[in-house]
Amino acid sequence: MFPNLFSPLSLGSITLKNRMFSSGHDTVMAEKGRVGDRLIAYQSARAAGGVGHIVLQVSGVHETAEYTDSELMATSDEVIPGYRKIAEAIHAHDCHVFAQLFHGGREVMTTPDGLLGVAWAPSAIPNERFHVMPRALHIPLIEEIVHGFGLTAARMATAGIDGVEIVASHGYLPAQFINPRTNIRDDIYGGSFENRMRFTREVLDAVRAATPEGFVVGLRISLGERDQDGLTPPESMQACRYLANNVDYLSVTAGSSATYSGSVHIVPPMNYPPGYLADLSSQLRETVDVPVFLTGRVNTPAEAERIISAGKADAVAMTRALICDPLLPNKAQDGETETIRLCIGCNQACIGHFHLGVPISCIQYPESGREREFGSLPMTANVKRVLIVGGGPAGLKAAAVAAARGHDVELWEAAATLGGQTQLAQLLPGRAEFGGIVPNLVGEATRAGARISTNKTADYKLITEYQADLVVLATGALPYAPPIETLDDEVNIPIFDSWEVLRGAQLPAGAILVADWRGDWIGLGVATLVAERGHPVTLCVQGWTAGHALQQYVRKEMLADAIRHRVSIRDDLRIRGISGDTVYLGHTLTEEAVEISGVSAIVLATGHRANDSLFHELAERGANVRLIGDALAPRTAEEAVFDGLRVGAEF
């Protein structure tokens, strides 16, 4: 089905078995800066799934290169055994492995002890996103860092790693030297184009000198950093052409860690189209004689095949797709594309976990990152009759896991369609792809043998008649409305909840106030949706900003969309009362009263309450019953799916 995708590719002394790869991404699985068993299990699962090669997360090459406390540090020979162990584990599956060699320069996020570190860069030009003012590197330290790249590459070769990738992408140190706006030096490392290229060229020379003949050396670079002071696509392409003879491949992406606008492209969310950088990689590929690898929201083998067959890239990163479904390559090669669990670009548990400082995973496939606990669940020796009530993400995952383990599983859903609140979430602006979680989970459950019925409302009588050994209630939640005081008899403001708006409720003409308690995609998305329909909208957030609970790249995109639609955002406000056409709010920090007049309607995005009434009736009468998902506690789809995994795995 995918002849180009599964064709081999020669690099240096090795041959990749196919054109799919997992690009370098921080997993937050380093153990005190070293490769450990959790990281090995995570990457081994991807190798076993059939991917052609894996690029490990960044490895710091010098003590000044520690940009986050979850980083692998490869500054001594003591790290070699860990890298050897992960190389052997990946090689066991006919998969190759490269290491990323890294120095972030002024891009410093966190330090192990929480103190602000000293950042070093070509020049003392501040970072906008992390508010870092670096020190300008002096030449002896530059030489030491260059030497560190060589030493680290030698360690990787000794450990059996197949190659290294120099990270010049996303505004990190090599890019800072290349960029004339972040490099204003007047010595041999600044000024002319050749001088600004000197650092990266010396790094490549040091790596080549320290590694054996045929050892693969690549360069990762952003084809445009997409911020006001970042490298432009022509500047990046000029650098690539200059360095092409020194590398075995070029791996291209976009964006910069230095700014809010540029950082979105590090892990672009679902409102960016698949393969959106393919035309840029195609332009570069036409001008260089080395393979060009592409990263940028490619999540299906069909999209990857189109890119490669059109000559736009030689290999394609499918990183989040492989987090969501490690078996994607094998499934594609075997013609089982309908069984692939497709990434929806939500960013919640992958890059979102990284920003929280916890190991990455996937909201659809929480086994990712937890391979040692859930990677290979045993078949049950004691088959149980299991009834699951509720066909949202929690119930569907529980059904899939329990049935796959051999239990007799039936699921009842009261509505005509499966998916629960996901059916509403996909109606929010820019969130349509979120609905993909439903067919993915339904497919898993049905293929595992679970029987699913819709339009079937459960009550105590029906459940007890079914005589299940275990009842799992995944009955979700309902909108919560906080107490709102009516201050006089002349209240003219109707109140809607966000579910009603998403289901098409007609709001009266005029200004709409959206009260947002959680600060997630619901309040922000509903506010934008109402603004799209032509209403002036004020979004009052009970937090420090709209979308404060969202992964930062998703938040930035949704905020930008709301701002473009002229949504007025007021933070740190809670709704208290209404009188006439005036809404009374209280400031959460000062308790000061705030009035907003001329309001035609209020839309509540004030959270949910568990729909758990069946649980109490069943538990009081001695039934073996479990609560999962929002029925246990209203949270997000990630917790719901994880609840389903846990309950399906434990009995």
Q: Are 465 and 488 members of one domain?
A: no
Task: Clarify whether residues 77 and 215 are in a common domain.
Answer: yes
Of 109, 116, 94, nearest to 28 by C-alpha is: 109
Say yes or no: 454 and 506 in one domain: no
Among 316, 345, 373, which residue terminates a domain? 373
Give Cβ neighbours of residue 10 (< 8 Å, ≥ 6 apart). 16
> Is 366 among the domain residues?
yes
pLDDT of residue 490: 77
pTM of the predicted model over 0.85: yes
What 432-439 contacts at long range (C-beta under 8 Å, 24+ apart), as own/partner pairs, is 432/270, 433/270, 433/344, 433/345, 434/270, 434/344, 434/346, 436/342, 436/344, 437/344, 437/363, 437/364, 437/393, 437/637, 437/641, 438/393, 438/396
Query: pLDDT tens-digit profile of 586-634?
Result: 999 999 999 999 999 999 999 999 999 999 999 999 999 999 999 999 9
The answer on 356 and 385 residing in a single domain is no
> 521 and 448 in one domain?
no
* Residue written as token pair 């309040």: 523
Chunked in runs of 10, what are the mean pLDDT values of the chain (651 residues)?
97 96 98 97 98 98 94 98 98 98 94 87 96 97 98 98 98 98 98 98 98 97 96 98 98 97 96 96 98 96 98 98 98 97 97 96 98 96 98 98 98 98 97 96 98 97 97 98 89 93 97 97 98 98 96 96 98 96 97 97 98 95 96 98 98 90
Chain-centre distance for alpha carbon 450? 29
**With contact defined as beta carbons under 8 Å apart, do 397 and 420 qualify?**
no
In this structure, are residues 293 and 316 in contact, taking their beta carbons and an 8 Å threshold? yes
510 belongs to a structural domain: yes
Give a yes or no: residue 538 inside a domain.
Answer: yes
CATH number where 20 lies: 3.20.20.70
Whether 1 is in a domain gets the answer no
Q: Are residues 365 and 404 in the same domain?
A: no
Within-domain flag for 2: no
Q: Is 440 a member of any domain? A: yes
CA atoms within 13 A on the CB side of 10: 3
Please state, as a whole number, how many other Cβ atoms lie within 10 Å of the Cβ of residue 607.
Answer: 18
Q: Are residues 136 and 247 in the same domain?
A: yes
- Residues 159 and 80: beta-carbon distance below 8 Å: yes
Tell whether 3 is covered by a domain. Answer: no
Contact 545/260 with Cβ under 8 angstroms?
no
Per-residue pLDDT tens digits for 198-220 = 999 999 999 999 999 999 999 99
- Check whether residue 117 and residue 231 sit in a common domain: yes
CA atoms of 267 and 557, how far apart (whole Å): 12
| Nearest residue to 453 via CA among 444, 465, 442, 467 | 442
User: What is the number of structural domains in the chain?
Assistant: 3
Same domain? 72 vs 209? yes
The range of the structural domain enclosing residue 33 comes to: 9-373
State the pLDDT at residue 649. Answer: 97
- Tell me whether residue 190 is in a domain: yes
Residues 182 and 313 in one domain: yes
Assign residue 454 the CATH number of its domain: 3.40.50.720
Phi, psi of 498 (to 5 degrees): -65, -30
Of 373, 399, 420, which one is at a domain's C-terminal end? 373
- Please give the pLDDT value at position 487: 85
465 and 504 fall within a common domain: no
Do 564 and 622 share a domain, yes or no?
no
d(CA 295, CA 208): 25
pLDDT in tens, 215-260: 999 999 999 999 999 999 999 999 999 999 999 999 999 999 999 9
- Which of the 8 DSSP states describes residue 505? P
Choose one of 350, 373, 396: the last residue of a domain.
373
CATH number at residue 535: 3.50.50.60
Q: Where are the alpha helices (DSSP H) in 244-350?
A: 260-263, 278-285, 301-309, 319-324, 328-333
